[in-house]
Amino acid sequence: MKKRKRLRRHPVWNFFDDLDDKNIGCLQCDFKTSSGFTTNLKMHLKAHHRNDYIQVMQMECEQRKEEGCIDSAPQGKKKKRTAEELETMLEAYKAKHGTELDDIHGNISPQALEK
């Protein structure tokens, strides 16, 4: 009998896939891990695939907006970041790393084309 897996709704799963019952692999490189926590997977993207990391952050922000988690986090044991907090984090990351991505689809900004 196969073990039941959790529903993977987080955008980071667009960049990773199951290799076997215990390991997960990056679709962009040879990275493998047995940790399926989305934070760990996002940290891999942040360190090794910046454009993909930015796309994940943008998609996560859009997902939070759709869920109605815009400016106040729900009460509970763990605080889920709001869309506003994610946008602030994303803008800070873009400013620090001078990214050339313009939108969620990875389109290059006109400013980057002028370089």
Mean pLDDT of all residues belonging to the chain: 77
Confidence of residue 44 (pLDDT cuts 50, 70, 90): very high
Residue 94: pLDDT band (50, 70, 90) is: confident
Q: Around 63, how many Cα atoms within 13 Å sit in the side-chain half-sphere?
A: 13
- Residue 34 — pLDDT band, cuts 50, 70, 90? very high
Neighbouring C-beta atoms of residue 63, cutoff 10 Å: 15
Q: Which pLDDT belongs to residue 52?
A: 92
Read off the pLDDT of each residue in 87-106 and give the average, rounded to a whole number. 68
